[in-house]
Amino acid sequence: MSMVYVALISYTPDPERTIAAAARVSTSPARASQLMQKLSPQAVDRLLSRLISSGHLSPFEHASFTFAIEGISRVTSHQLVRHRMASYTQQSQRYVPLKEFSYITPATISAKREMEAKYHQGVRAAHHLYLEMLDAGIPAEDARYVLPQAGETGLVMTMNGRELIHVCSLRLCLRAQWEIVELFEKVKAEVEKVAPHLGAELKPKCYRLGYCDEAESCGIFPIAVEMGERR
Ligand SMILES: Cc1cc2nc3c(=O)[nH]c(=O)nc-3n(C[C@H](O)[C@H](O)[C@H](O)COP(=O)(O)OP(=O)(O)OC[C@H]3O[C@@H](n4cnc5c(N)ncnc54)[C@H](O)[C@@H]3O)c2cc1C
């Protein structure tokens, strides 16, 4: 069962205006501080649309978003931290001994009763051995080698607007794994609350490309080869 929880805990004040003011600095005689006050909400909106459609994404780096992320598996946190243009601080299994072991159970496993029972048995057996090792004086940093990737973890993640657009283009794609898709659906929902224009731009890459560049399409857009054949 998924337990993904995401909360936006901090962000650049007035993020979209900040992005727009930064973008206007390059073409306006006015200073950024003046632009921050002068730009109308409509002008901010127009500027953001133009930046997106022209692919001029560097101004989006000036708005940054910090999220508390909880209830994801270590499978997903491992996938997440491959995105290097972001900052992460994760709960340590070296310093925090896991007396209780919360873990994620994928729906495909829950759907098969017999397998689900064996899964829980396997995970609990691994945790039992972990506790036994702690009791035997083995440090948590070594005992943890026996723990499954299903283990629940929590972290704080900071990404700027440009990286959010990029990572969502990869991880909102339905070819990505369900748990990380769900994580970024929740990230998107949090961003939409404070930066609706940017939030709306957090979408799978196919929406920008107009076709699917994966080997197999989920059905939203045809794959590039099929598009070519149709021409
Ligand atoms: C559906 C899916 C399946 C995946 N499967 C696998 C897998 O099986 N095995 C696996 O190992 N990974 C896998 N990955 C991870 C993938 O290979 C990337 O590491 C991950 O998506 C991070 O990509 P990123 O563009 O955010 O890269 P980052 O490493 O964060 O880099 C960001 C951007 O900076 C640039 N950049 C960064 N470093 C360099 C560099 N050294 N040289 C030149 N340009 C650079 C690139 O433009 C890059 O897009 C998968 C990812 C997805 C989305």
The model's pLDDT over 175-218, given as tens digits with 9 standing for 90+, comes to: 999 999 999 999 999 999 999 999 999 999 999 899 999 988 98
Q: How far is the CA of 15 from the centre of ligand 1 (A)?
A: 26
0.85 exceeded by pTM:
yes
**Cβ atoms of 182 and 87 closer than 8 Å:** no
107-111, 160-164, 223-227: segment of lowest average pLDDT: 223-227
Higher pLDDT, 26 or 177: 177
**Cβ atoms of 64 and 19 closer than 8 Å:** no
At 11, is the pLDDT very low, low, confident or very high (cuts 50, 70, 90)? very high
Element (H, E) at 102: none
- Say how far apart CA 207 and CA 58 lie, in whole Å: 20
Q: pLDDT for 42-90, tens place per residue?
A: 999 999 999 999 999 999 999 999 999 999 999 999 999 999 999 999 9
In the block, residue with structure tokens 């900071």:
158
230 pLDDT above the threshold of 80: no
Residue 85 CB–ligand 1 contact under 6 Å = yes
- Say how far apart CA 105 and CA 108 lie, in whole Å: 8
DSSP SS3 for 152: strand
CB count in 10 Å sphere of residue 100: 7
Q: Which amino acid is at 153?
A: T
Angle value at C-alpha 80, between 69 and 2, nearest 5 degrees: 55
What are the structure tokens assigned to 76, written together?
């997903």
Residue 230 CB–ligand 1 contact under 6 Å = no
Would you tell me the crossing angle of helices 41-54 and 15-25 to the nearest 10 degrees? 70
As a whole number, mean pLDDT of residues 154-168 equals: 98
Sequence-distant (≥ 6) Cβ neighbours of residue 191 within 8 angstroms: 8, 65, 164, 198, 199, 202
Ligand 1 mutation pick, 57, 61, 170, max ligand atoms within 8 A of CB = 170
Q: Which residues are part of the catalytic machinery?
A: 171
Residue of 193, 213, 188 lying closest to 203 (CA atoms): 188
